[in-house]
A and B are shown apart, each in its own frame.
Chain A
Amino acid sequence: MSLKIAISKGRVLKAFVKRIENVGYSFDQLNSRKLMISSRDEKIQLITVKSLDVPLYVKNGYADLGIVGSDVIDEYSDVFYEIYDLNMSKCDLCIAGKTDLTLEEKGYLKIATKYPKQGRDYLKDKKIEGEVIKLNGSVELGPLLGISDCILDIVETGNTLKENNLIVKEVYKSISSRIIANKIFYKTKNKEITEFLEKIDKVFGGMTNE
């Protein structure tokens, strides 16, 4: 029985495949336009999707496992298992704003973000009154156009912030790619999943379930 793994296209897919080739998984059709690619031994099948869709495939049982950043995972609660930290594609989820913004002085904080749940969690954690404005992209426009006081977004190099005259005010949490599992298939395909995790643990050395 092969394991179906939903994985975000692009960098994550390339980095993941490159690493698991070292433990015997190889793929013939990686450079084709195929959205479902099986390993040569047919033990795993990668379903390439947009990162925001990975949890949906796993939650609804169209994939057994999913590989996606913890920024996306944390927008959901209790709908799948988060079983392994791949420790790759690392970055930070940060609060950023204009240079003159002082978070402590804001009585009411407006946050523009692609991550509304984590925006609300941030306000709750810090015990700050405020609101979250959900934007689907170009969140840097929030403070620039006065839509919000700050943004909550992924920061890798910081170049986009710099070009838009914004700076990191606080690192909220560290992000890395994780493996999530469908709650039912984790049980019914536990043998296959455990074997897979044991194998890839040799190259990722993450925080395995075992």
Chain B
Amino acid sequence: MNYKALEKLNFVDKQLTKLAEQHGYQKIFPKSIDNYAGFKEDYKASNLTPFKLIDREGEINILHEDPTISLFQAELKTDKLFYLTKVFSWDSKYKENLKGGLEILGSESDISDVEIIVLSYKFLESLGVENFYVEIGHSDYIQELLTMAGMEKPLMQKINDQIHKKNSGMIRKYLKELSIDENLKQQIADIPKMFGSIDEVVQRLETNCIEGKKISEVKRKLKTMVQLFKKYDLELSKIKIDFSLTNKYSYYNGIIFKAYTNNYGKKLLQGGRYTLNKNQKEINGVGFGFNLREILGGIKMNGRKMRDYTIMVSNANVEQSIVLAEKLRKMGYTVKKMEDKLNFELIQRIKSDYILEVDKKMVKVIDSIRDQVFKKDIINYVDDVRRNKMMESIH
């Protein structure tokens, strides 16, 4: 991992920690490796194929692909938690990755669902990701329409696959042979088109004449969620609905959501409500997780730049350099001190936005953002930085 990527990783970790702690979540450190026996059923039910290792005693161990599964097996004393941990997943070959996330365990309420979605929103906002949106789906909507059609399980699976591919043409082809209500056929074929703003989709749900217990519950849930979203400080237009949304982890069984940003072709994070087993008991949870590699890519392309400073320190300017570094840190900036002589090669190597060199009362600034080099009185320079920071926060 190069310097910039490492720096971004630390930034993501810091923002996640800050946000989670502000909301009363506790940091935990999930295990990466576990004995397979204790997780056999969970992995069977999840569609995941964890990397297996045989130890010296002949025991089968697994490297976890998804930390959520290991959380339920751990004896946790908290119901609100967050983590950043190593995971191992299959993508042509087994790869090591970092995964972060935030979970509420044990709660089944709409309030928890909303809190997790709002935190995913706030998390992306804190990372400076611009033009992002969070998309919500619900597995019960599809399930109830397909159940109403009374089709055989294999056909249901085929249609389900086509819904997730948004292939209305193929869905219509499968439905053609079925002797069911034309209106129901139309609604199933239209599932791939059930996406857009919350208001739009709720409106379309209202005008649908087919009613079912689960669909009514989905409608009720969405309306409650909208009411609660409105109480938070967020742009409602950034929250959308898509009923053909899926999650590769099959233990999700209610609300599911994913976040995206324009001009970046991968999801930033995903989450939802799930049920897992713990000591033969079903436990509910809701949470979101993100893959470091994916989220870092999103920050690179759309995110606000994170400013930082490197101060060159020598025996001649050590005291002034410390004072300047402390002032900048107090303003929230990252300041690194380097005991080296400034030269062209070093400037190329240092990846900071600003390189500073103090000379008595003056500071030489190499500004890589504006591609400028200038000298300024230290007091005036600190004032300028403070003023610029205030202006940025206003905007």
Contacts and interface: CB of A to CB of B under 8 A. Distances in A.
A207 B173 contact: yes
Interface string A137-177: 00000000000000000000000000000000000000000
Nearest to B171: A207
Q: Counting chain A CB atoms within 10 Å of each CB, which of B169, B264, B267 scores highest?
A: B169
13 contacts: A61-B265, A61-B266, A81-B166, A183-B265, A184-B264, A187-B260, A188-B260, A206-B169, A207-B172, A207-B173, A208-B168, A209-B168, A210-B168
B246 interface: yes
Nearest to A184: B260
A78 interface: yes
Q: Counting chain A CB atoms within 10 Å of each CB, which of B167, B168, B248, B265 scores highest?
A: B265
B65 interface: no
B167 A209 contact: yes
B242 interface: yes
B122 interface: no
B100 interface: no
Interface of B: 135, 164-170, 172-173, 192-193, 195, 240, 242, 246, 248, 260-267
B246 A78 contact: yes
Closest 5 CB pairs of A and B: A61-B265, A207-B169, A82-B165, A81-B166, A184-B260
A196 interface: no
Interface in A25-76: 58-62
Given A78-B246, A184-B260, A187-B195, A209 B169 contact: yes
Contacts of B165: 81-83
A61 B264 CA distance: 6
A184 B169 contact: no
B86 to A, nearest CB: 23
Nearest to A62: B265
Interface of A: 58-62, 78, 81-85, 181-188, 206-210
B248 A78 contact: yes
Given A59-B265, A184-B260, A187-B242, A85 B170 contact: yes
Contacts of A183: 260, 265, 267
Contacts of B167: 81-85, 207, 209
Given A182-B265, A183-B265, 4 more contacts: A81-B166, A184-B264, A184-B265, A184-B266
A84 B162 CA distance: 11
A185 B169 contact: no
A208 B169 contact: yes
Contacts of B265: 58-62, 182-185
A188 B135 CA distance: 12
B53 to A, nearest CB: 22
A208 B193 CA distance: 12
Contacts of A207: 167-170, 172-173
A183 B261 CA distance: 11
A73 B4 CA distance: 35
Contacts of A208: 168-169
A85 B169 contact: yes
Nearest to A178: B167
